[in-house]
Amino acid sequence: MASPSKDNESYYDEFADWYEDERHSGYHAFIDRLETDLILPYAAGKDVLEIGCGTGLILRRVEPVANRAAGIDLSDGMLEKARERGLEVYKANATELPFEDASFDVVYSFKVLAHVEDIDTALAEMSRVCRRGGLLILEFYNRLSIRYLAKRVGGPQKISEQTNEGAVFTRWDSPIDLTRRLPENLRVVDWAGVRVLTPTAHFHKIPAVSTVLQRLEFRARDSMLKYFGGFLVMIIEKELE
């Protein structure tokens, strides 16, 4: 049975208190490592903005290498924990960013943009605050993936006793869909695939299997298999003119 529809803010506030309970080990920590390892080389010495920073699990790792590292999120509960980490974060929507034009060299987002219904406005906003020659590193849910098939079979998972994942807007895209949506001043320069080979998160609860999967996932992320990652990352350049 589907959960009642919720806006994104109340959806994330609902589990902000226990969001990190299982994120410091196992599957979730591994996915964070895959994504952090991807972003760090681009963030070094740059002014960086994270869209949907949550409690700051990735932003806290980016901040030490960046010139400036800022984040935005909708959830007061998530932002409270990010501020406790001393991070520069703001309450804002991806479709209305509280920054001047050309404020950042790199704008990135993980696990968030698939839940933004007005994605065209969000893309335009992220492009607006990115400097010319800068990069947008944006992750979406991939329709051409094992993860998509697993979700179709398994259905929405619970986030609390009252709510499951079906309560929030979610879109699944293909690489072609995403390329066609980009504003004219943006061009894709590369792709990465996160969670290419993992059928379900439960496989990472088996130590021997998890060890092998993690090694393979790092290789697959940047291989030709990347286009089938459950989380599809676009590496986009804002053109100079």
- Tell me what pLDDT residue 11 has: 67
Alpha-carbon span 223 to 172, nearest angstrom: 22
Superfamily for the 8-238 domain? Vaccinia Virus protein VP39 (3.40.50.150)
- Tell me what pLDDT residue 16 has: 72
Query: What token pair was written down for 23?
Result: 């994120």
Q: pLDDT digit string (tens) for 62-75?
A: 999 999 999 999 99
Query: What token pair was written down for 57?
Result: 């699990």
- Tell me what pLDDT residue 76 has: 92
Q: At what angle do helices 207-221 and 26-43 cross, to 10 degrees?
A: 30
- Tell me what pLDDT residue 21 has: 79
- Tell me what pLDDT residue 163 has: 66
- Tell me what pLDDT residue 157 has: 65
- Tell me what pLDDT residue 90 has: 98
Alpha-carbon span 200 to 150, nearest angstrom: 7
Q: Where are the alpha helices (DSSP H) in 140-231?
A: 146-154, 175-181, 207-221
| Residues of the chain predicted below pLDDT 50 | 1-6
Q: pLDDT digit string (tens) for 19-42?
A: 777 788 889 999 999 999 999 999
Closest by CA position to 15, among listed 55, 52, 50, 66 = 55
- Tell me what pLDDT residue 4 has: 37
- Tell me what pLDDT residue 73 has: 96
Question: Helix, strand, coil proportions of the chain in percent (round to 5)?
Answer: 40, 25, 35
- Tell me what pLDDT residue 22 has: 76
Instruction: Please state the pTM of the whole predicted model.
Output: 0.90
Q: Any idea what the Cα angle at residue 234 is, between residues 214 and 142, rounded to 5°?
A: 65
